[in-house]
Amino acid sequence: MIDTQRLADWMDEQGLPGKGEPLEANFLSGGTQNEIYEIVRGDERCVIRIPPAAAPANRDEGIMREWRIIEALDGTDVPHTRAVAACSDKSVLGRSFYLMGFVDGWSPMEFKKWKEPFISDPEARRGLAFQLSEGIALLSKVDWRAKGLHDLGRPDGFHERQVERWTRFFDRIKGREIDGMAEATEWLQNHKPLDFIPGLMHGDYQFANVMFREGAPAQLAAIVDWEMGTVGDPKLDLAWMIQGWPEDTESPEAETSGYVDMRGMPSREEMVAHYADVSGRQVDDLDYYLVLAKWKLAIVLEQGFQRAGDDYKLQSFGTIVPTLMRSAADLAESTDYRS
């Protein structure tokens, strides 16, 4: 639990609203990397994001990195949480932290299903998907240089580093041979996107990391969880979003293809077309990004499997990883994409 008195004193020093009012902190969520509390003080309602005491030391840098992105999004069209204040002085609460506006909305991860009217109204549900696609398209249009994010990432050599970095990472955690790994890696080493326009990217963009406003029509309230945010290639976010999208969103399999019911959703082609319309980016080289996204996700999940222990969820990655990597290799081998 955070020290509410020390937080209140710091907020007073920053001249934030609610000075002198009692402060209430309500735990919302958290794990080994971050904890999130709702902060209520008088009429002010916001959220604090802070690493727990046992989190690795570099999470303090990560928190301030997230803050830079959230602060930079103010004044843009990207749905985001309002930037309130940040503190890198660990003497206040023991870790770096930031305050962001409270989002009056809901997350698909809350109950692992949609909320009404998106359960009973298929057309309204389609709007959730288009809003998801639009959010990441709007993010790709942010002028990251003008927002002072020129040093957030290293766009030069981004794609070469992706393959080199994650290949080295896999070699460090390797505990078994993964079918398709060699083929997909070699294909990525020999192909590049048709163009590369650097932009702000989320890094883990999916329904789990957005919030929607209540009621229809669907409206994206905020993109959240910026732990992987960087300046890189926004089209990798697009591929990450759709790499597991059902081939047929009208089939019974779409109900169980993810953590939410995907029946009645727009097709993958419709999602990509909406992204292209809003972002203004060409998507003719999408196969390259899909191979990269599947390959990278397989490696990320393999790390979880290798350290699973008695964790049933992580153990389940044991069968998911080979299927995903084989999918990346099959797409690489079958596509006529040339870069």
| pLDDT tens track, the chain, 339 positions | 899 999 999 999 999 998 889 999 999 988 778 999 999 998 899 999 999 988 999 999 999 999 999 999 999 999 999 999 999 999 999 999 999 999 999 999 887 789 999 999 989 999 999 999 999 999 999 999 999 999 998 999 999 999 999 999 999 999 999 999 999 999 999 999 999 999 999 999 999 999 999 999 999 999 999 999 999 999 999 999 999 999 899 888 888 777 788 989 999 999 999 999 999 999 999 999 999 999 999 999 999 999 989 888 899 999 999 999 999 999 999 998 787
How many C-beta atoms surround the C-beta of residue 330 within 10 A?
15
Radius of gyration of the chain (CA): 21
Give the pLDDT score at 282: 97
126 and 97 both lie in a single domain: no
Residue 115 is assigned to a structural domain of this protein: no
Count up the domains in the chain and report the number.
2
Q: CATH number, domain at 11?
A: 3.30.200.20
With tokens 């309204």, the residue in question is: 124
62 and 147 share one domain? no
Asked if residue 107 is part of any domain, the answer here is no
- Domain hosting 61: range is 4-101
Q: Are 155 and 92 within one domain?
A: no
E strand or H helix at 65, and its extent? helix 59-73
Three-class secondary structure of residue 72 per DSSP = helix
Angle 248-220-195 (CA atoms, 0-180°, nearest 5)? 65
Q: How far apart are CA 284 and CA 294, in angstroms?
A: 18
d(CA 8, CA 54): 23
- Measure Cα distances from 338 to 102, 159, 261, 287, 329 in Å: 46, 16, 35, 10, 16
Q: Which pLDDT belongs to residue 32?
A: 74
Q: Which amino acid is at 2?
A: I
Same domain (yes/no): 176, 34: no
Closest by CA position to 199, among listed 239, 146, 253, 256? 146
Same structural domain, 92 and 135: no
Q: Of all residues in the chain, what percent are helix, strand and coil, respectively (each to 5)?
A: 40, 15, 45
Q: Is the domain of 148 the same as that of 240?
A: yes
pLDDT of residue 319: 95
* Statement to judge: residues 138 and 79 lie in one domain: no
55 within some domain: yes
pLDDT of amino acid 1: 83
Q: Based on the domain organization, do 191 and 321 belong to the same domain?
A: yes
- DSSP 8-state secondary structure symbol assigned to residue 254: G
Q: Is 191:335 a contact under the CB 8 Å cutoff? A: no
Residue 116 lies in a domain: no
On whether both 92 and 128 belong to a single domain, the answer is: no
In a domain, 316, yes or no: yes
Question: pTM for this one?
Answer: 0.93
